[in-house]
Amino acid sequence: MNPTGSSAIDVTNLACGYGETIVLKDISFAVAPREILFIIGGSGCGKSTLLRCLMGLSVPIHGTVAYFGRSFTGSDAADRRSLLKTFGILYQGSALWSSMTVAENVSLPLEENTSLSRSDREAVVAYKLEEVGLTAASGLYPSELSGGMKKRAALARALALDPVILFLDEPSEGLDPITSREMDHLIGEVRETTQVTMLIVSHQLSSIFRLADRVLVLDQASKGIIAEGAPATLAASSTDPRVHEFLRQDIPGAHDSKELPALVNTSR
């Protein structure tokens, strides 16, 4: 898949929900190649629901999703499987297999989706673990890892197939401010050293200001996007009180952003 000449992700008139319940309606947006786009908003606004539709874990009610010009929602089974192999996913809570070592967890996508020999798989796993700083933890089990190490292991697994689209669901959730900052730095390094496009669901304001090229703000009441743009720009200039409230929260670690101090210290 060549990530030049078209949007990485195109979403048009997408509606998502469960049964008779519509969570999001008529969502349209595009993501540029190598962009880091954050999906943000209050609890219950549909962030994870949208992510599930984009990853193929839920079937949208209507609308279309395309990746680099290839239809995902309209694809047949073979094309869909081909597209899914170009995705990397870091699940909320990491979702590591507890009965497998770190190395085995990272190797699993290679075993299921490639014809690489065992020695070649081991070489790829070693490289991915080095990339996330977990070489020494390759033989450990998830129960032996700290929260930050679990996130790094999950990121290594998400990168195992050299994806062109990387979905991250709350990558800093549950981490202390220092470990969260380290995780953000690692995500930024991955973007700089690969051609991957990232779509991240998060409520962590510090991560949003450190990493996001652009944010989409979802709203539960309107069931859609209420704002779109660079987070610093929206925090400074949005007249929508919902956007203003979300992006100008004073939270621990917010001062780490180069752009945020003047914003969060300004009286509302």
Write the pLDDT tens digit of every residue in 192-210: 999 899 999 998 899 999 9
The mean pLDDT of 149-154, rounded to a whole number, is 96
Asked if residue 8 is part of any domain, the answer here is no
The pair of three-digit structure tokens given for residue 208, joined into one six-digit string: 């949003």
Do the bridges between strand 214-219 and strand 224-229 make them parallel or antiparallel, or are there none, so unpaired? antiparallel
The pair of three-digit structure tokens given for residue 9, joined into one six-digit string: 């992700």
Do the bridges between strand 36-41 and strand 197-201 make them parallel or antiparallel, or are there none, so unpaired? parallel
96-110: per-residue pLDDT in tens?
Answer: 999 999 999 999 999
Spell out where 87-179 has E strands. 87-90, 165-169
Asked if residue 38 is part of any domain, the answer here is yes
Gap between the Cα atoms of 138 and 177, Å rounded: 25
> 265 vs 129, which has greater pLDDT?
129
The mean pLDDT of 19-46, rounded to a whole number, is 92
Domain with 237 in it: what CATH number?
3.40.50.300
Structure confidence at residue 87 as a pLDDT band (50, 70, 90): very high
Give which of 114, 123, 50, 53 is closest to 85, Cα–Cα. 114
Whole-prediction pTM: 0.87
Residue 225: the pLDDT is: 96
Q: In which domain, by residue range, is 181 found?
A: 34-42+86-264
Query: At residue 70, does pLDDT exceed 70?
Result: yes
Gap between the Cα atoms of 115 and 26, Å rounded: 40
Query: At residue 171, does pLDDT exceed 90?
Result: yes
Asked if residue 94 is part of any domain, the answer here is yes
Residue 162: the pLDDT is: 96
Asked if residue 191 is part of any domain, the answer here is yes
Q: DSSP character for 144?
A: G
> 261 vs 159, which has greater pLDDT?
159
The mean pLDDT of 128-136, rounded to a whole number, is 96
Asked if residue 145 is part of any domain, the answer here is yes
Residue 256: the pLDDT is: 44
Asked if residue 52 is part of any domain, the answer here is no
Asked if residue 1 is part of any domain, the answer here is no
Give which of 182, 217, 227, 174 is closest to 50, Cα–Cα. 217
Q: What does pLDDT average to over the chain? A: 88
Asked if residue 16 is part of any domain, the answer here is no
Total domains in the chain come to 1
